[in-house]
Amino acid sequence: MSDMPFDSSVFPQRHLLGIEGLSPVDISLLLDRADEYVGLNRSVGGKLDTLSGRTVMNLFFEASTRTRTSFELAGKRLGADVINMSVSTSSIKKGETLIDTAMTLNAMHPDVLVVRHASSGAVKLLSEKVNCAVINAGDGRHEHPTQALLDALTIRRRKGHLDGLQVAICGDILHSRVARSNIHLLNIMGARVRLIAPKPLLPAEAERLGVEVFYDMEAGLRDCDIVMMLRLQMERMESNFFPTMREYFHFFGLDYAKLQAAKPDALIMHPGPMNRGVEIASDVADDIGRSAIREQVEMGVAVRMACLEVLSLNLVHEEPSVPEEVQDELEGDEA
């Protein structure tokens, strides 16, 4: 842990809805704090009471195992009460019912809502209707800020810095919220970003996000420090973004032959879950020397601890805590 006492009051956001709009200072603050938690998580019995008495609610409108578990663990390590709510997407189709759900949950007074939703913008809509802090755990194709933060922390710990690095993000950019959050974060922190994908998997005017676009893996990977592979999101594809898996892997799957173009010490990353043999060859993914894929998962917990802590400390400043007796009375009135 650092010598300086941690002051979260400098984090100017009530919610963490996306990376876009954050400053380099905001991001560094979260990364520094998360970095401190990495050590704690590695020690036995490393549990804190920072969020003791706080309630974190995981509200997942879309199936997730790793992100939800990661948030759950992060909350518990900080001493919070964590509740998991999985809502089947079929029962929530209209904006109105989403807001109804939000109002219902709000009445239960959680401190932090961690929300994942299949529709871009749904988390922001929900955040406008609740009094607690909201963390976006992935909304449609829009943003997945904690993933970008954990990727950044992984890179920073391996390379020592983010600025000036050449980062290639490869694969299904079109459907990827991870890509969008990473593009924003890396640009904010001074890294240079390249996108590599077959054209149908690139969103329109991608260059306008401040990236270089390549359609060829070897050209795009040339001299890169970081190679970020994305999962092919088959569940989001109607059809015809590319002909077959076989052809996709041949031209865009990461194998050692294509990796030759990158720097010899290039770090390989993947947000998981991987489609082995589709976007990444198994031997590359499992290369202990070069692949940071498992480390990314570890960083995820630390980053989410930092986010939960920073946002819940901000809550105190906004809403001075109400004495419990008064709060009980209020709740009684509502009922």
Partner 1 sequence: MINKLPEAHGKTAFINARLLDPATGLDAKGGVLTDGEFIVEAAQGLFDDSVPEDAAIIDCQGQCLAPGLVDMRIQISGKDFANVGASAVAGGVTTAVCQPNTTPIVDDRAVVEFIARAARKAGLTKIYPYGALTKGLEGQELAEMGLLAESGAVAFTDATQAVSNARTMCQALSYASTFGLMLIQHPEEATLAEGGVMNEGETATRLGLTGIPKEAELIIIERDLRLAKMTGGRLHFAHVSTAESLDLIRAAKDKGISVTCDTAPPYFALNETAVGDYRTFAKLTPPLRSEADREAIIEGLRDGTIDAIASDHTPKSEDMKRLPFADAAYGGLGMETLLAITLELVHNGHLNLLEALGLITQHPAELLGLSAGRLKPGAAADFIVFDPDRGWQVTEQGLHSKAKNTPFDGRPVQGRVLKTVIDGRLVFDLDA
The catalytic residue positions are 66-67, 94, 116, 144
CB atoms closer than 10 angstroms to residue 169: 26
* Interface contacts to partner 1, rule CB under 8 A: 198-200, 215, 239-244, 246-247, 250-251
Q: Which is nearer to partner 1, 250 or 317 (CB)?
A: 250
The first and second tokens of residue 335, run together, are: 């009922």
Q: How far is the CB of 195 from partner 1 (least distance, A)?
A: 12
Q: Which is nearer to partner 1, 91 or 239 (CB)?
A: 239
Q: Which is nearer to partner 1, 60 or 248 (CB)?
A: 248
Q: How far is the CB of 273 from partner 1 (least distance, A)?
A: 25
Q: How far is the CB of 279 from partner 1 (least distance, A)?
A: 15
Q: Which is nearer to partner 1, 45 or 243 (CB)?
A: 243
- Number of C-alpha atoms within 13 angstroms, CB side, residue 18? 20
Gap between the Cα atoms of 272 and 290, Å rounded: 16
Q: How far is the CB of 180 from partner 1 (least distance, A)?
A: 20
8 Å CB contact between 64 and 115? no
Which ranges constitute the DSSP H helices of the chain?
24-42, 66-77, 95-106, 122-127, 145-159, 177-188, 217-221, 245-252, 256-259, 282-285, 293-318, 324-334
Q: Is 1 helix (H, G, I), strand (E, B) or coil?
A: coil
Residues 6+ apart with CB under 8 A from 295: 154, 157, 158
